[in-house]
Amino acid sequence: MKVVLQNVTKIFPSRNKKSNEEVVAVNNFDFTIPDGKLVGLLGPSGCGKSTTLYMICGLQKLSSGRIFFGEDDVTDLSPENRGVGLVFQNYALYPHMTVKQNIMFPLQNLTGKAKLTKDEMLERTLEAAKLVQIDELLDRKPSELSGGQQQRVAIARALVKMPRILLLDEPLSNLDARLRLQTREEIRRIQRETKITTIFVTHDQEEAMSISDVIVVMKLGVVQQIGAPQDVYDSPRNLFVAKFLGTPPINVFEGQINGGKVYIGKEAVMSVKDVPDQKVYIGIRPEGFIVDANGSLTCDLQSVEVMGRDSSIVSTNEASSNPTVRSIIDSDIKVDPSAKTVKFRIKPNKIFLFNKETEERIFCEVK
């Protein structure tokens, strides 16, 4: 089922009696989430991700705008009547109930036409437990489960009512690194199998990039960019998005365009067409550097870290906004770690130019 957010805005009144400063938590969010897709809402703390999710599920009222599930306007419906499954970061399982009782719980509250017999409830519970692969653990209490298993129970409990939309609020943040990886693949598998339109919130760009069909990058309540993860990574619309996606992060330099050349310090590293002379930010992805004795960018070599398949060259440059310049190269390419400097050529599709004032991307041909 598609989810339509039509100019959705949420303004929280000021909490401080002395000031009238309102918080615009979500500002004019306008987007149609396609049917059956996994969408990651991504951004730093406070950017409005959770508020957006809570407005979709009905826990927060909109200040203005409308929300549709398919053709149904759900803006004024209560959460119970929207048909959403919600999974919280802290699982929120009932500690005194077994896994089976936890999953079955939402079915016991169904009334009227939706009311189920005991056998039907059991069947649905087992189905959901199988889907998340915890059917062996049905008689355990939550305290007897690992964090990852508890999160699966929470997902099964959200799925058992066969929701129209599944919403996940930071579903992986309480898990350790290994379980995060495993559980995020699980979420992807479950979403593919059920084909339920799923929206999840995270501040972890790698997590969002790895499992989403579509990512929505937010900053201070405003959507910055929406697209397939790779497209957003390959073509960020502004400096914020460029910096937010990618590990190690993009390298940013202060530079300028002069006579069709892009300068970092005194070195002309690239040519551009039809761009007026101006000061710019220059972003270069770590994988965008090629070690080349005749390269046009010179950096002071700090260290070479060999990491199996790749090597990370750590260097410095006066024009760099980051303390160090990080480049990732194939470890077959040998760099003398005792050298004072290292020279690079830049891959044209890995360098982005941004207006120094607005930080918006300057879209142009770079060679």
50 binds ligand ATP (CB under 6 A): yes
Minimum CB separation from ligand ATP for residue 235, in Å?
24
From residue 17 to residue 36, the character string flagging contacts with ligand ATP as x (rule: CB under 6 A) and all else as - is: ------x-x-----------
Please identify which residue in 31, 36, 46, 189 interacts with ligand ATP, judged by CB under 6 A.
46
What is the CA 94 to chain-centroid distance, rounded? 29
CA distance 56 to 235: 28
Residue 45, CB half-sphere, CA atoms under 13 Å: how many? Answer: 0
User: Based on the number of CB atoms within 10 Å of its own CB, is 197 exposed (0-12), middle (13-18) or buried (19 or more)?
Assistant: buried
Minimum CB separation from ligand ATP for residue 207, in Å?
13
Please identify which residue in 141, 203, 261, 345 interacts with ligand ATP, judged by CB under 6 A.
203
Query: Which C-beta is closer to ligand ATP: that of 8 or that of 128?
Result: 8
Beta strands in the chain (DSSP E): 3-12, 23-33, 38-42, 64-69, 72-73, 84-87, 165-169, 197-202, 214-219, 222-227, 251-258, 261-264, 267-271, 278-284, 289-291, 297-307, 310-316, 325-330, 341-346, 351-355
Please identify which residue in 29, 38, 43, 328 interacts with ligand ATP, judged by CB under 6 A.
43
Query: Which C-beta is closer to ligand ATP: that of 36 or that of 65?
Result: 65
Please identify which residue in 4, 5, 38, 51 interacts with ligand ATP, judged by CB under 6 A.
51
- Window of 41-49, 65-73, 244-252, 259-267 that interacts with ligand ATP by CB under 6 A: 41-49
Q: Residues in contact with ligand ATP, total (CB under 6 A)?
A: 12
Minimum CB separation from ligand ATP for residue 19, in Å?
13
- Interface residues with ligand ATP (CB under 6 A)? 12, 23, 25, 43, 45-51, 203
